[in-house]
Amino acid sequence: MNLASKTPASEPTEGRLFFNKKTAPPKIRKRSEAAPAAAAKVYRDGHCEVHQEPSAETLARLHAEPGLLWLNIDGSHIVDANGLEQPSPWLQAIGEMFNFHALAMEDVCNRKQRAKLDRFDDGSSVPHLFIVARIPDASDPGETEQISIFLCEDLVVTIQESPGGDCLSRARTVARGAAQRGTLSASLLVAEILDAAVMDYMAHLPGPESVIEQLGNRIGTAKTDDLVHKFHHFRIEALHLLRDLRPLEAVLTVLANTNDDPLIKPAARAKFKDALDHQQRAVDTLNHLADESKELMNLTLAMASHKMNEVMQVLTIISAIFIPPTLIAGIYGMNFQHMPELAWQHGYFCVLMVIASITTVQLGMFWWKDWLVLPNFLSRLTPPFLRQRKAQRRRRSP
């Protein structure tokens, strides 16, 4: 799929890999949980300069200086007087200063976007690529936050949803080395940023395979409820990460195979392909974790059900053994006047022998059907020919 330019007459969805424009409801934050002040980190020639909520004059000065500029904004929203998170007013100043498209700035404010790629080159704004990706949220396992990337000729602007830590330290290190060698371009920097975002998924896996294997070895010994809860928790986290990581494959595929876009340099295309390989490997790993957690959860429930069936089998055998004696005792306990057996001299012992015989036959039948496991000392007393016939019967059974 080629990158398509937007024209004023086109619909907003044209030229987009994904379109999921939903206005996110305002996030309520407690007054005691004040959001940290958003900061802008400026990277030029391997040097970092931090500005707290930069003013329009600061942005103008940064924009006027020559060379490649990377502006990283930590925190796209602020907390108003009512405790609600609202888009920061200086986001509009950034869009106006660098002449970004209004639709792109709208997507920055609406933080529930899927990974997607837009190209804006309709004359109403400076030619630029707008990329949306999602990175794992370090403060909320299994959830992600939005990072918006603007790519121009000599300008890269990244706007992160939440202030604080991020996953771009690796990209900063690589960019610093490339800047010192004089090989850094804006598209290569974006490729490093997207690759760092993909690799951060591997660092936030819901449960390492060794942990899942250890929990799998505890099946049958640990509490069923605890294991089922943990396996379900791992699977839900993996599925949530997959939901936000999968759409990035289409974005990286287009960036890696675009040959006619002057904003994407050849060296950057190779890095985009490397990031695509990392993305596919991360998707495979998350799929494996989700499937393995589901299978282990099903195995845990199946073993618990098997144990329950064994208990019910024992209770059923006990009930079946006591049914004939109960029937006989009930018949001779009716106290009718004319019951010949009541006058027999040895009637009591005869009834006991009948009950013992029926019980013995039942136990033998249960043992022959493998419904009853005899203790070792009783198994050794079983005649050899019976043991042989039973072994032959087991071999013939499917």
pLDDT tens, residue order, the chain (398 aa) = 444 444 333 333 333 232 233 334 444 333 334 444 456 777 776 667 776 666 677 777 777 777 788 888 877 666 556 656 666 666 777 788 888 888 888 888 887 888 999 999 877 778 889 999 988 877 777 678 888 899 988 888 888 877 665 667 777 777 777 776 777 788 888 998 899 888 888 877 765 555 666 666 666 666 777 778 888 888 888 888 888 899 999 999 999 998 888 888 888 899 999 999 999 999 998 888 888 888 888 888 888 888 888 889 888 888 998 999 999 888 888 877 778 877 788 888 888 999 999 998 988 888 777 777 666 655 665 666 566 766 776 666 55
Same domain, 213 and 137: yes
In this structure, the answer to whether residues 278 and 343 fall within a common structural domain is: no
Q: Is residue 80 part of a domain?
A: yes
- Domain membership of residue 94 (yes or no) is yes
Tell me the CA distances in angstroms from 338 to 168, 342, 345, one per residue in order: 98, 9, 16
Q: Is residue 373 part of a domain?
A: yes
Choose among 72, 66, 64, 75: nearest CA to 43: 72
Do 106 and 60 lie in one domain? The reply is yes
Helices (H), 182-223: 186-203, 209-217
Q: Are residues 353 and 206 in the same domain?
A: no
Residue 237 φ then ψ, to 5°: -65, -45
- Domain hosting 97: range is 39-303
Split into its structural domains, the chain has a count of 2
Specify the DSSP class assigned to residue 297: H
Question: Are 358 and 231 part of one and the same domain?
Answer: no
Q: Would 224 be classed as within a structural domain?
A: yes
- 378 with 260, same domain? no
Kindly give, in sequence order, each residue whose CB lies less than 8 Å from that of residue 342, ignoring residues fewer than 6 positions away. 332
Is residue 317, in this structure, part of any structural domain at all? no
Q: Looking at the structure, do residues 236 and 375 belong to the same domain, yes or no?
A: no
Q: Which of 303, 321, 343 is the last residue of a domain?
A: 303
Helix (H, G, I), strand (E, B) or coil at 51: strand
Q: In terms of Cα–Cα distance, which of 145, 83, 160 is closest to 113? A: 145
